Chains A and B, each alone.
Chain A
Amino acid sequence: MTEETQSESSLLLLPDGRLLVRNVTPELSTLLMALQPEDSDLARRTMLSESPGLQLITPSNA
């Protein structure tokens, strides 16, 4: 089973640029929002989720 601390989502990037997303968690919605800030549906989902925000993985903290 997927524990909440090990959430699981999937993304499928299509050749035409569309991005399909399965099991969108609040954190993932925030990430997607950064990619597509003009997406109003996604903005609503992100707003409703009160996501804690992104944690950027960099060489120094990876």
Chain B
Amino acid sequence: MVEAMDAVLTAPVLLAGGRRRVAMDRLKDARAALAGCEICHHRCAVDRLTGPAGRCGAGADPHVFSAQVEVGDEWEIIPAYAIALAGCNMRCAFCITGDESWHPRRGQRLAAAAVARRATDAIASSRAKSLLVLGGEPTVYIPWLLELVAAMPEDDRLVLKTNGLSTGPARGMLEGLFDVWIVDFKFGSDACAATLSRTPGYTAAVGETLRWAARHTDLIIRHLLMPGHVECCWRPVAEWIASHLPMAKVSLRSGYWPSWKAGDHPPLDRPLASAELSSAMEIARHFNLRLVP
């Protein structure tokens, strides 16, 4: 059995003046927001315009640590030209890209327009059918994301993969710009989120983003099954989705790969067991979730 680790699509985005224009119009405010950054759940209120700061430790502009056509994400969006931005506002011990996510200076500084050119070429030549922006956590770099959107053709399919910790004002700056939001609902338990990712108040913050994304974009909720966390994390995640967003598309990922500091948090130091996958699928059936491949 081959299991892919990794994210899909939708109704056209309709903004007066087109999304490129809208993205440019929002740029000034987005950059100003970094001067007292409260664009994510942590609300550090630090100045990221003058240098790296805050929980994410990121400056204003990202480094790119991966850019290539990939087919491991959800069927709806592949092949995707996937670009990964270093830096994240979570500290997941098991992160598959831990080094790049915890260290925002990994990779290479690239202008959004340069990345857009590469993505546009990939899509125009049919090597990709969408642009997928992921991290790390891309929403900590909203000005750069706006520049990227402004440099992409109006009709290309844009997909944002996020951990869902953006605040309301941050989401407002991104509204209407990405065709699809893939929101990673990692933990069903605030205790697990605090222990494994140093993110207090996790479930409420992500729940807010999920409800917003369901109203404003084509939403895919992704959950990576973690060994030993089916009952404490997947079951409450499934129950929450069934209760709040029963029609949402759910991408259940089974390819957990022990990495980074997972060895410090057994049983995260091992792959998912077959019995755990069976149990997780039974939970999905019980809550009648709309699973997507």
Expressed in whole angstroms, the minimum distance between the Cβ of B49 and any Cβ of chain A is 23
Contact A4 B65 (CB under 8 A): no
CB distance from B171 to the nearest CB of A (A): 28
A2-52, CB < 8 A from B: 2-4, 7-8, 12, 14, 18-26, 29, 32, 35-36, 39, 41-42, 44-46, 48-50
Determine the main DSSP class of A at the interface with B: mixed
Residue among B1, B4, B5, B71 with max Cβ neighbours from chain A (10 Å): B71
Whether B196 is near chain A, meaning CB under 8 Å from some CB there, is no
A56 is an interface residue with CB less than 8 A from chain B: no
- Whether B257 pairs with A20 at a CB distance below 8 angstroms is yes
Q: Are A21 and B3 in contact (CB under 8 A)?
A: yes
Complex alpha-carbon distance, A25 and B6, angstroms? 11
Complex: chain B residue closest to A22, CB-CB: B5
Given contacts A39-B1, A45-B4, A50-B126, contact A2 B79 (CB under 8 A): no
B98 at the interface (CB under 8 A from A): no
- Tell me, yes or no, whether B236 is within 8 Å of chain A by CB: no
B118 at interface by CB-CB < 8 Å: yes
Inter-chain CA distance A14–B68, complex, in Å, is: 26
Q: Give A22 to B66 CA distance when docked, in angstroms.
A: 12
Q: When chains A and B are docked, how far (Å) is the Cα of A12 from the Cα of B64?
A: 24
A62 is an interface residue with CB less than 8 A from chain B: no
Minimum CB distance partner of A29 in chain B:
B71
A1 sits at the interface (CB 8 A): yes
Q: How far is the CA of A7 from the CA of B63 in the complex (A)?
A: 17
List the A residue with the shortest CB-CB distance to B274: A16
Q: Are B2 and A42 in contact (CB under 8 A)?
A: yes
How many pairs of A and B residues are in contact by the CB < 8 Å rule? 96
A10 closest partner in B (C-beta): B257
The complex places the Cα of A45 from the Cα of B71 at a distance, in Å, of: 6
Q: How big is chain A's contact interface, by range? A: 20 to 34
Q: Are A1 and B71 in touch, CB under 8 angstroms?
A: no
Interchain nearest-CB distance for B61 vs A (Å): 14
B66, B78, B255: the one within 8 Å of A2 (CB): B66
A4 touches B70 (CB 8 A): no
Bound together, the chains give a CA A40 to CA B3 distance in angstroms of 12
- Residue of B whose beta carbon sits closest to that of A28: B71
A25 touches B126 (CB 8 A): no
Contact partners of B246 in chain A: CB under 8 A = none
How many angstroms between the C-alpha atoms of A4 and B108 in the bound complex?
A: 14
Contact of B69 with A by CB under 8 A: yes
Contact A24 B110 (CB under 8 A): no
Q: Chain B contacts of A14 at CB under 8 A? A: 271
| A44-B293 in contact (CB<8A) | yes
A interface footprint on B110-141 (CB within 8 Å = 1, 0 otherwise):
10000000100010001100000000000000
Contact of B71 with A48 in the complex, beta carbons under 8 Å: yes
Question: What's the Cα separation between A19 and B254 when bound, in Å?
Answer: 12
Given the known A-B contacts A19-B2, A21-B5, A24-B4, are A41 and B293 also in contact in the complex, defined by CB atoms under 8 Å?
yes
| B67 CB within 8 Å of chain A | yes
A-side contacts of B66, CB under 8 Å: 1-2, 8, 23
Shortest Cβ distance from A24 into B: residue: B72
Could you tell me which A residues sit within 8 Å of B by CB distance? 1-4, 7-8, 12, 14, 18-26, 29, 32, 35-36, 39, 41-42, 44-46, 48-50
